[in-house]
């Protein structure tokens, strides 16, 4: 039977991935340290429905303290989702957490992976933040990364580490650069979560910048599908793929769409642009389409509606 490890398993994307793997009949070792970057109770709710699943082993610990040699003895796949996330929080004193969790933890995992006897793939969760203010839109993987945030710097450095371990030790890695993922279980510090929560309570929405910025929004189930494909397609080894939602939308348009879904509008409070926020992002996913067979399935109106239902249930 196939066995997988998912790091960051109680987080937004990680919990959906664990669920999908269990539904496929795999054995899953789920690892999460439940740090306090945001309220750990959110993470506990993400996985409470899975905790008694016979295929699941849950480990609440930091990546850096685990006995990886023993853990990886019979593991086929690693999905490395764990990270210190958030662009705006990565400046100043918080930077140490980003180097520790995005870089040092990844190095520990790679060091163990080079001796894992059964490992077929290590799928690394990267980010569109590595591109920064890309000059070419939509942006392909061949564009030179130019991060504009410390967070983007640490994720790019972790990618480069993975490439080194592939070149020197044959660790079979793949990187997926996610573009603005949304959907149920989204972190409470992320924009759509905050917007919909404010709408639920009929409070004003705070927007950094003029709302004219554009993003390539990607629904979480499409990201899960990309991970599963990256793990099994032979030609994916050693490659980097953009994972986007297939359409680029202006933030103000998203807010209008949310108001249609919710059925009423709330005031918008425009704040100065946040340092480190890219103005525009757009994914060229042709490489992922060609090699992984990736095709985003979820439209923004449908995806936002699912997230709205979840927000209502969460704060009911």
- What is the residue-wise DSSP string for 183-211? STT--TTSHHHHHHHHHHTT-PEEEES-S
Answer yes or no: is pLDDT of 217 > 90.
Answer: yes
316 pLDDT tier (thresholds 50, 70, 90): confident
Answer yes or no: is pLDDT of 236 > 90.
Answer: yes
Q: Which residues are catalytic?
A: 151
Separation of first and last alpha carbons in the chain: 40
Cβ atoms of 139 and 284 closer than 8 Å: yes
Answer yes or no: is pLDDT of 222 > 90.
Answer: yes
Contacts within 8 Å (CB) and 24+ apart, 164-172: 165/110, 165/111, 165/113, 165/114, 166/237, 166/238, 169/114, 170/114, 171/110, 171/113, 171/114, 171/119, 171/122, 172/119, 172/120, 172/121, 172/122, 172/237, 172/238
Output the domain CATH number for residue 159. Answer: 3.40.50.720
Joined tokens for residue 41: 């109770």
Cβ atoms of 109 and 66 closer than 8 Å: no
Q: How many helices (H) and strands (E) does the chain have?
A: 11, 13
Domain that holds residue 13: 3-315
Distance CA 316, CA 314 (A): 6
Q: State the DSSP code for 99.
A: I
Q: Kindly state the helix (H) or strand (E) to which residue 30 belongs, with its residue range.
A: strand 27-32
pTM of the predicted structure, to 2 decimals? 0.97
In percent, how much of the chain has pLDDT > 70?
Answer: 100
The pLDDT assigned to 247 comes to 81
Span 102-124, pLDDT tens digits: 999 999 999 999 999 999 999 99
Q: State the DSSP code for 102.
A: I
Mean pLDDT of all residues in 198-213? 96
Joined tokens for residue 166: 């592939």
Query: Which are the contacts of 172, defined by CB distance < 8 A and separation ≥ 6?
Result: 119, 120, 121, 122, 166, 237, 238
Please give the tally of structural domains in the chain.
Answer: 1
Span 1-40, pLDDT tens digits: 999 999 999 999 999 999 999 999 999 999 999 999 999 9
CA 207 from chain center: how many Å?
Answer: 22
Distance CA 72, CA 82 (A): 17
Span 261-291, pLDDT tens digits: 999 999 999 999 988 888 999 999 999 999 9
Inter-CA distances, 273 with 216, 241, 249, 277, Å: 19, 29, 18, 8
Judged by DSSP in three states, 82 sits in: coil
Query: Which are the contacts of 89, defined by CB distance < 8 A and separation ≥ 6?
Result: 37, 151, 189
């Amino acid at each position: 039977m196939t066995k997988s490890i998912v790091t960051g398993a109680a987080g937004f994307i990680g919990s959906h991935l664990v669920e999908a793997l269990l539904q496929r009949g795999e054995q899953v070792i789920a690892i999460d340290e439940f740090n306090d970057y945001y309220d750990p109770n959110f993470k506990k709710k993400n996985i409470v429905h899975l905790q008694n699943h016979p295929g699941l082993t849950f480990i609440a610990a930091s990546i850096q303290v685990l006995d990886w040699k023993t853990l990886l003895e019979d593991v086929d796949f690693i999905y490395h989702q764990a990270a210190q996330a958030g662009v705006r929080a990565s400046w100043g004193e918080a930077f140490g957490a980003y180097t520790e969790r995005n870089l040092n933890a990844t190095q520990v995992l790679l060091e163990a992976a080079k001796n894992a006897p059964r490992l077929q793939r290590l799928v690394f969760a990267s980010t569109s933040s590595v591109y920064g203010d890309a000059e070419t839109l939509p942006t392909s993987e061949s564009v030179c990364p130019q991060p504009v945030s410390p967070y983007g710097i640490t994720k790019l450095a972790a990618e480069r580490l993975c490439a080194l371990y592939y070149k020197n030790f044959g660790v079979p890695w793949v990187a997926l650069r996610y573009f603005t993922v949304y959907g149920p279980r989204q972190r409470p510090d992320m924009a759509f979560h905050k917007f919909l929560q404010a709408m639920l309570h009929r409070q004003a929405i705070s927007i950094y910048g003029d709302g004219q910025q554009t993003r390539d929004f990607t629904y979480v189930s499409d990201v899960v599908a990309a991970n599963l494909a990256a793990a099994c397609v032979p030609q994916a080894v050693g490659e980097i793929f953009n994972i986007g939602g297939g359409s680029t939308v202006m933030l103000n348009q998203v807010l209008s769409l949310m108001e249609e879904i919710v059925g009423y509008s709330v005031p918008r409070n425009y704040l100065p642009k946040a340092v480190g926020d890219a103005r525009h992002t757009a994914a060229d996913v042709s490489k992922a389409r060609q090699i992984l067979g990736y095709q985003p399935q979820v439209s923004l109106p449908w995806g936002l509606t699912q997230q709205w239902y979840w927000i209502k249930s969460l704060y009911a």
